[in-house]
């Protein structure tokens, strides 16, 4: 229903009175668009809200997140997880890596050989930066919300 | 330049394989000669053609081996102990044995006592008994390098996390540690304490003293994207600027790369275990799998000779094929 006014105004842009009417039209157009956006967003938010509530009840706080170490890279490099989530890293490289928290925010992993996994549960909200202490160019981040 | 070990596309009329066989020990390589501050490099092929002789009457020769990675058993080389042994056989076959060896790190794959045991056991077969070490990041996975220090740095009385210096035949050797306390997102690191020590260590040396610095991770920015560099190496090199001849020997990147900057020659050695890709030519610096028959041509060691009175150091790489 909000799309129709735009369509309605559009042909007028191409008419001869365009120059005189244009500022008003622009104003109207913007206004209508803004209204449509606000309404649309509200609709989306309400749907989303309901969705996450449902999810929350089905999956309590112990969600699991997987991070792969491959080609000297953490994938994904940044993960956002809920409080209480358990993050598991799997080393798919043929070289060892050691997961190390910047400022010791969580326990350092043992040396992860090819195929080995390491998990940590994040009980407190915050941003946890980490890297590989053998290959410090490899960095990643866990955002706990 | 890293390619010259494995490929010879120069079409200079010399069959590479044949040349290698003829040259036996000397193998492939560039001969670096620093004379009066002027650096000259020649391929061994050029030297042979010109009829020049290799420096035979040397006052000091030593050998660099690196990145043995004992314990590694993946596709890139399933028997790193065997290739390490071949490297030692090459040393034993030299007409004049080197005065000593320098091992520039990554003796082991996982810092395990049994890996160090295997290395030590195999090393016993080497005719040259004096070995000077600096750790690689694979040797200090316990975080402090305690085990490594106890085993390999006791005799040199390493300062701080294990750095030290010594003199041989008028050459000043400096072993540095740049694999500890690495920071997130960073490169190799020497740290303030080591840098201050270095400044004091060379302070009273005459500028004509030839300097040889060795450390695991390159002390120049080979390829920072892969962590191939040392964040505070500039400061270290600043203390060495006034010297007429500085040779920097590193490992870590498992291939030969050379760079000359003023009076400083940087050189990285091949591994005795497995090759790694040239900077930026692969998604990551992981072990490079090459056909079995090619592997030994990409592993090797580095011989360094110093001619006293000529302030020259010649660095020659040779592979294991």
Q: How far apart are CA B134 and CA B218, in angstroms?
A: 12
Residue B32 has pLDDT above 50, yes or no: no
Choice among B46-60, B63-77, B113-127 with the minimum mean pLDDT = B46-60
What pLDDT shows up at residue B174? Answer: 98
- For residue A137, pLDDT beyond 60: yes
pLDDT of residue B310: 61
- The structural domains of chain A, ordered by start, are 3-58 (no CATH), 64-144 (2.60.40.420)
Which of B110, B224, B284 lies closest to A96 in CB terms? B110
pLDDT of residue A9: 42
A106 touches chain B (CB under 8 A): no
Task: Dump pLDDT digits (tens) for B152-198.
Answer: 999 998 999 999 999 998 899 999 999 999 999 999 999 999 999 99
Q: Does the distance separating the beta carbons of A137 and B186 come in below 8 Å?
A: yes
For residue B152, what is the domain's CATH number? 3.60.21.10
Q: Cβ-count burial of A131 within 10 angstroms (0-12 exposed, 13-18 middle, 19+ buried)? A: buried
Query: How far A111 CA sits from the closest chain B CA (Å)?
Result: 7
Q: What is the pLDDT of residue B194?
A: 98
In this predicted structure, what is the pLDDT of residue B224?
Answer: 94
Is residue B145's pLDDT more than 60?
yes
- Give the end-to-end CA distance of chain B in Å, rounded to a whole number: 19
Q: pLDDT at position B117, please?
A: 98
**What is the DSSP secondary structure assignment for residue B205, as one 8-state letter?**
S
User: Does the pLDDT value for residue B307 go beyond 80?
Assistant: no
CA dist B286 → A72, A95, A132, B154, B278 (Å): 8, 7, 14, 32, 11
Structure confidence at residue A76 as a pLDDT band (50, 70, 90): very high
Which ipTM was obtained for this model?
0.76
Instruction: Tell me whether residues A137 and B183 touch, CB distance under 8 A.
Output: no
B275 in contact with A, Cβ within 8 Å: no
The pLDDT assigned to B95 comes to 86
- Asked whether residue B133 carries a pLDDT value surpassing 50, the answer given is yes
Partner-chain contact A96 B141, CB within 8 Å: yes
Note the pLDDT of residue B59.
72
| Residues in chain B closer than 8 A to A107 (CB atoms) | none
Q: How far is CA B101 from CA B186, B288, B312, in A?
A: 30, 26, 19
Contact between B44 and B82 under an 8 Å Cβ cutoff? The reply is no
Instruction: Answer yes or no: is pLDDT of A123 > 70.
Output: yes
Number of domains in chain B: 1
pLDDT at position A61 is: 60
Domain containing residue B59: 2-319
The whole-number pLDDT of residue B96 equals: 83
**Residue % of chain A over a pLDDT of 90:** 54
């Amino acid at each position: 229903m909000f799309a129709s006014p735009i369509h309605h105004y559009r042909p007028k842009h191409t008419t001869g009175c365009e120059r005189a009417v244009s500022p008003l039209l622009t104003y109207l157009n913007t206004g209508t668009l803004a209204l449509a956006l606000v309404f649309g967003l509200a609709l989306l938010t309400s749907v989303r809200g309901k969705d996450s509530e449902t999810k929350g009840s089905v999956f309590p706080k112990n969600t699991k997140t997987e991070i792969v170490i491959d080609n000297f890279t953490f994938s994904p490099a940044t993960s956002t997880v809920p409080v209480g989530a358990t993050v598991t890293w799997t080393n798919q490289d043929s070289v060892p890596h050691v997961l190390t928290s910047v400022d010791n925010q969580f326990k350092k992993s043992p040396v992860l050989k090819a195929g080995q996994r390491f998990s940590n549960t994040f009980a407190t909200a915050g941003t946890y930066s980490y890297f590989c202490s053998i290959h410090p160019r490899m960095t990643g981040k866990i955002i706990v919300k | 330049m890293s390619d010259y070990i494995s490929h010879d596309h120069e079409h200079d009329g010399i069959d590479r394989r044949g040349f290698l066989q003829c040259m036996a020990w000397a193998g492939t390589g560039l001969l670096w000669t620093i004379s009066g501050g002027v650096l000259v490099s020649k391929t061994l092929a050029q030297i042979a053609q010109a009829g020049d002789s290799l420096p035979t009457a040397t006052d000091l020769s030593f050998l660099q081996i690196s990145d043995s990675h004992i314990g590694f058993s993946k596709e890139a080389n399933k028997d790193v102990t065997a290739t390490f042994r071949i490297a030692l056989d090459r040393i034993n076959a030299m007409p004049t044995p080197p005065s000593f060896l320098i091992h520039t790190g990554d003796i082991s794959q996982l810092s395990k006592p049994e890996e160090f045991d295997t290395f030590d056991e195999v090393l016993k077969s080497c005719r040259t008994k004096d070995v000077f070490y600096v750790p690689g990041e694979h040797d200090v996975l316990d975080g402090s390098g305690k085990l490594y220090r106890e085993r390999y740095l006791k005799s040199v009385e390493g300062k701080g996390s294990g750095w030290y210096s010594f003199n041989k035949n008028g050459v000043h050797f400096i072993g540095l540690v740049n694999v500890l306390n690495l920071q997130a997102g960073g490169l190799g690191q020497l740290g303030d304490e080591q840098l201050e020590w270095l400044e004091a260590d060379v302070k009273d040396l005459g500028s004509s003293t030839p300097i040889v610095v060795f450390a695991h991770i390159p002390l120049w920015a080979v390829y920072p994207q892969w962590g191939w560099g040392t964040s505070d190496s500039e400061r270290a090199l600043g203390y060495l600027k006034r010297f007429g001849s500085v040779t920097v020997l590193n490992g870590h990147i498992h291939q030969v790369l050379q760079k000359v900057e003023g009076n400083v020659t940087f050189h990285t050695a091949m591994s005795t275990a497995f090759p790694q890709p040239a900077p930026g030519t692969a998604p990551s610096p992981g072990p490079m799998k090459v056909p079995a028959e090619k592997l030994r041509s990409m592993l090797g060691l580095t011989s360094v000779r110093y001619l006293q009175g000529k302030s020259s150091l010649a660095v020659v790489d040779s592979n294991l094929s």
